[in-house]
């Protein structure tokens, strides 16, 4: 370009509502004020999150049962976590559940978000609301409802399928089908939330990019691959991390629908934590297992963030 091109003005963000004001008071005074505004939240977080976490960490090195008598046992609980065959099988079950739940929920949410983002879709608002409704229902209620729906004796689903000549059998008592069944209930219950997040992400993508792509001759598939998906990678990272965390914490519907059965096939890590803590009263071991799960979740989340963060950077 030429040198006489008018100089580009430096970008200045618009003034916040109420106009710009000079900060008043000394820096220390401002710090105190900020702290006071934060204090209620900090106190609640401290009392109900940080303090229990510190207590649980301490308990994980003891044989605590919750009734006062507790002895320091060092790393014994952690050694058991990594050597007990029951825990290993719970980890395998949780991994299977995560593999069944996360991709299904994320792909269903993304697919429906893409479909319902299209302005040509009739009854868009109705479908958007309808898909979000299961998320509002309590997990326990959803689990009870599904237990009845698929019950082999009185279940509606079985009744309909029988009409079509299909015998579904007792799904929740079938070692091969129980896990997919409880995972599907979670997909039904949770994907509405991921769907809304994807929808918000899709609406953030400027339509000018699609126009440019169209001018360049990109078809629908190319636009999805080269415009939509790359620009959704932040949203995707968020949804994937949330879905993975939800999967690793699977408990409610399993507790209600199968209780961990048939013979341990749906026994997840959180079910083990519950059983160790509240049935066997082994709070020390339950705390250790919780910490291992926490660290595993943290690592998985970080890996996902780094992976998708890099994709975003590559694109930029």
Contact status: 262 vs other proteins (CB under 8 A): yes
Nearest residue to 266 (alpha-carbon basis) of 101, 81, 60: 101
- Of 137-145, 168-176, 214-222, 242-250, the window that binds other proteins (rule: CB under 8 A) is 168-176
Query: Contact between 180 and other proteins (CB under 8 A)?
Result: no
Cβ atoms within 10 Å of 156's Cβ, excluding its own: 11
Q: At how many degrees (to 10) do helices 283-315 and 233-248 cross?
A: 170
| Shortest distance in whole angstroms from residue 147 CB to other proteins | 11
**């995707």: which residue's tokens?**
236
**Considering the rule CB under 8 A, would residue 26 count as an interface residue with other proteins?**
no
Does 161 help bind other proteins (rule: CB under 8 A)? no
With CB under 8 A as the contact rule, the residue among 30, 37, 38, 43 that binds other proteins is 43
Residue 16 or 68 having the CB closest to other proteins: 68
173 binds other proteins (CB under 8 A): yes
Question: Which position among 51, 82, 148, 263 is part of the footprint of other proteins (CB under 8 A)?
Answer: 263
Q: Does 69 bind other proteins (CB under 8 A)?
A: yes
Binder to other proteins among 160, 280, 298, 306 (CB under 8 A)?
A: 280
Distance of CA 32 to the CA centre of its chain: 36
From 82, 126, 278, 307, residue interacting with other proteins (rule: CB under 8 A):
278
Instruction: Please choose, out of 17-25, 67-75, 100-108, 187-195, the segment that lies near other proteins by the rule CB under 8 A.
Output: 67-75
# chain residues binding other proteins, by CB under 8 A: 26
Residue entry with tokens 């279940």: 155
Return the half-sphere exposure (C-beta side, CA atoms, 13 A cut-off) of residue 308: 18
CB of 24 to other proteins, least distance (A): 17
Q: Give whole-number Cα distances, 148 to 144, 155, 252, in Å.
A: 6, 5, 16
Tell me if 309 contacts other proteins by CB under 8 A: no
Rounded to whole angstroms, the Cα distance separating 12 from 71 reads: 62
- In the complex, minimum distance from the CB of residue 301 to other proteins, in angstroms, rounded to a whole number: 29
Decide: is 68 part of the binding site for other proteins (CB under 8 A). Answer: yes
CB of 169 to other proteins, least distance (A): 8
- Minimum distance from residue 299 beta carbon to other proteins (Å): 30
Q: Which two tokens stand for residue 126?
A: 């109705």
295: CB partners within 8 A, 6+ apart: none
C-beta of 201: minimal distance to other proteins in Å? 40
Among 29, 30, 32, 200, binds other proteins (CB under 8 A): 32
- What's the CA dihedral at 51, 57, 62, 66 to 10 degrees? 40
Question: Does residue 30 touch other proteins according to CB under 8 A?
Answer: no
121 touches other proteins by CB under 8 A: no
Minimum CB separation of residue 128 from other proteins in Å reads 38
126 versus 263: smaller Cβ distance to other proteins: 263
Q: Which residues bind other proteins (CB under 8 A)?
A: 32, 36, 39, 43, 65-69, 152-153, 170, 173-174, 259, 261-264, 275, 277-281, 283
């Amino acid at each position: 370009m030429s040198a006489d091109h008018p100089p580009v003005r430096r970008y200045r963000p618009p003034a916040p509502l109420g106009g710009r004001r000079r900060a008043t008071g000394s820096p220390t005074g401002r710090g105190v004020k900020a702290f006071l505004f934060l204090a209620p939240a900090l106190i609640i977080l401290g009392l109900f999150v940080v303090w229990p976490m510190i207590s649980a960490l301490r308990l994980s090195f003891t044989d605590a049962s919750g009734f006062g008598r507790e002895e320091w046992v060092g790393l014994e609980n952690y050694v058991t976590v990594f050597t007990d065959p029951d825990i290993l099988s719970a980890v395998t079950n949780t991994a299977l559940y995560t593999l069944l739940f996360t991709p299904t929920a994320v792909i269903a949410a993304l697919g429906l978000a893409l479909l319902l983002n299209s302005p040509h879709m009739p009854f868009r608002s109705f479908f958007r609301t309808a898909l979000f409704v299961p998320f509002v229902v309590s997990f326990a209620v959803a689990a009870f409802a599904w237990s009845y729906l698929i019950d082999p004796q009185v279940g509606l689903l079985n009744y309909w399928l029988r009409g079509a000549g299909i015998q579904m059998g007792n799904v929740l008592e079938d070692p091969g089908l129980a896990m997919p069944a409880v995972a599907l209930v979670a997909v039904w219950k949770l994907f509405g939330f991921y769907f809304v997040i994807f929808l918000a992400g899709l609406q953030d993508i400027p339509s000018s990019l699609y126009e440019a792509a169209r001018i360049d001759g990109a078809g629908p598939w190319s636009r999805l691959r080269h415009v939509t998906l790359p620009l959704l990678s932040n949203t995707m990272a968020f949804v994937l991390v949330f879905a993975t965390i939800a999967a690793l914490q699977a408990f409610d519907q399993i507790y209600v629908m199968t209780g961990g059965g048939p013979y341990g096939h749906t026994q997840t890590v959180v079910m083990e934590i519950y059983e160790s803590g509240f049935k066997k009263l082994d709070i020390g071991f339950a705390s250790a297992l919780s910490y291992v799960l926490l660290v595993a979740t943290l690592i998985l989340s970080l890996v996902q963030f780094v992976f998708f963060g890099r994709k975003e950077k590559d694109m930029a």
